[in-house]
Structure 1
């Protein structure tokens, strides 16, 4: 299974998404242009979900029309359980199987390369892990998926997942402001175990790019940290996007960086970020020191 260093996040194709998104959900033509540009840029891993509006259907339509060009595409999709399924193994099995089959139908593919559980903020990780490894194994045995894993809501949950051998893929928020999975040893443990690690929220859903005058009142606590981020970018002689991207890209253990795009140009811009040289050691050390004590409400988009 070859995962590209960049993963195209496709929530924008199905929903209005992102604090800095002024354009809303792109129309079908723009969505297909985004997908085409991703392939042309060598971005052959795409992330979607049953909960991203009609994102899977948009991808499926594109694949049907571009089957030859997309032959090496690797799709990551996600599912969720109802509250009842979390405590009922038979219901958990059935809901997972039904969701995967719906994804396969929407995408028009016979097997889902990677399936992740789409964890919510209020779901206890220990409760989910009662059934998830078993259900993932069964889906693999039935030939419905190739690999299984989980998309975590909180970085602190990574340590609970690392011992589950059947959960071979983990998606987790990592960015300059939110370094918890680095500090708590979760990323190092996942690297030791050989997990596929997808780093999402690299730009903190666009917060890094907001002008100071557009920062909502409930996020004013982020302002001094954003100002420091911009000073660090100037010191490193790069823009904020390159600094934020390179920090995550260069973390040992990160398999692929997930990014979203509202138009094809943004795909090109992110592909270009991948080509930049590594950050100087002194800049990385300053990043580690500068952003240790951010308020939880700033680094957790679900609390916005």
Structure 2
């Protein structure tokens, strides 16, 4: 039976949002950094309750850092949330991947997860790719996860991989600045392959919010283009976050839009932007001419929203 999300998308944009809680020093101020343990747990509890009250139902997690433990200590009761879990690198071995996926659930105090994602689709194309996928399928068959899938870039050929593996979920980056996954019909092809589409990097790693002096050297050539995009948005009285979410939520075939958030205040801003009416913008005119420049390394060096 094809995978269907436990919480189907509803008319409200909030039901299509998934939250990736940032607990590492990826931007400042971050209430999860340099704070007493009790304060960190209270900040997480407040953030989660804010999301729960708004109707958010999916939390996207990573195995790095202390985020899973914090989540496990702060879930609302009863918790309305499902979680996506990501694998550790294949270089750590298949046994370690399986053990760490189980450990992720234990740290969060959950008997099962919604989705288990291979963190790097390229690992599925290698010599151990089939064995890796079989491990994930085994965890699904045992009832530890309702669905399995992978995180991919446009260059990975995610639609063909999803069809070959009969994946349940594919997470792929797409944003106002890098629209290739939409413009090249990659998102539609993934959905046609039978996989639910989760959109990541919708804020382009914070590039859309960064001033010219905040851009890393490899993106300096795009400063003028970014300034022009922000100016066009200002002329339409549409702020960058509103535009980023408006674009992501407008895309057909997308089941979830993953937004990173570091505090309840940020979440409230995201929720307000998601619900704000968006002007009739020419989305294509707002994209960078060379969006492949938005590499993970470049984005990681910008301290704004991810």
TM-score, normalised with respect to structure 2: 0.83
8 A Cα contact 2:20 2:60, kept in partner: yes
Alignment partner of 2:49 out of 9, 13, 36: 36
Please give the residue correspondences for 1:234-273 in structure 2 after superposition, counting only pairs within 5 Å.
234-273=234-273
Task: Tell me by how many angstroms 1:187 deviates.
Answer: 0.4
Local SS of the residue matching 2:55: coil
Q: What is the CA–CA distance in structure 2 between the aligned matches of 1:95 and 1:147, rounded to whole Å?
A: 20
Structure 1, unaligned runs of 5 or more: 86-91
Matched residues in 2 for 1:295 and 1:67: separation? 42
Deviations 1:221-260 (A, max 9, x none): 2202211211221243211111111111100011111112
- Partner secondary structure for residue 175 of structure 1: coil
Judge conservation of contact 2:166–2:194 (CA < 8 Å) in 1. no
Q: CA deviation at 1:75?
A: 0.7
Q: Distance in 2 between matches of 1:191 and 1:295?
A: 23
Aligned-residue offset at 1:25: 5.6
2:261/2:267 contact within 8 Å kept = yes
Shift of 1:73: 0.9
Aligned positions of 1:205-284 closer than 5 A: 205-277=205-277, 279-280=279-280, 283-284=281-282
- What is the Cα deviation at residue 9 of structure 1? 0.6
In the aligned structure 1, how far is the partner of 2:184 from the partner of 2:177?
A: 15
Q: For structure 1, which segment, 181-190 or 214-223, has the greater mean C-alpha deviation from structure 2 after superposition?
A: 214-223
Residue 270 of structure 1 aligns to a residue whose secondary structure is helix
C-alpha RMSD of matched pairs (Å): 2.2
Alignment of 1:6 onto 2:11: no
Structure 2 match to 1:301: 296
Please list, as runs of the form range in 1=range in 2, the aligned pairs for 1:1-304 lying within 5 A after superposition. 1-2=6-7, 4-10=15-21, 12-13=22-23, 15-17=24-26, 21-24=27-30, 26=32, 27=35, 28=40, 29-51=42-64, 53-63=65-75, 66-68=76-78, 70=79, 72-83=80-91, 85=93, 92=94, 94-119=95-120, 123=122, 125-127=124-126, 129-152=129-152, 154-157=153-156, 158-277=158-277, 279-280=279-280, 283-284=281-282, 287-291=283-287, 293-294=289-290, 296-297=292-293, 299-303=294-298
Give 1:116 shift: 0.6
In 2, distance between residues paired with 1:303 and 1:260? 17
Counterpart-to-counterpart distance in 2, 1:232 and 1:224? 12
Distance 2:161 2:59 in 1: 23
Preserved contact between residue 9 and residue 46 of structure 1 (Cα < 8 Å): yes
Deviation at 1:32, TM superposition (A): 2.4
The C-alpha deviation readout for 1:15-74, integer Å capped at 9, x for no partner, is 112xxx2224624132222122111211111010112x01110110112xx331x1x211
CA contact (8 A) 1:16 1:25 kept: no
* SS of equivalent residue, structure 2 residue 147: strand
Q: Which residue of 1 aligns with 2:11?
A: none
In structure 2, what is the Cα distance between the partners aligned to 1:125 and 1:222? 33
CA contact (8 A) 2:238 2:279 kept: no
Question: Which runs of 5 or more residues in structure 2 are unaligned?
Answer: 1-5, 9-14, 300-306
* TM-score, reference length from structure 1: 0.84
State the Cα deviation string for residues 76-132 of structure 1 (Å, max 9, x = none).
1111233263xxxxxx2x233211210111011111111111118xx4552164334
For the residue of structure 1 that corresponds to 2:199, the secondary structure is strand
Aligned residues: 279
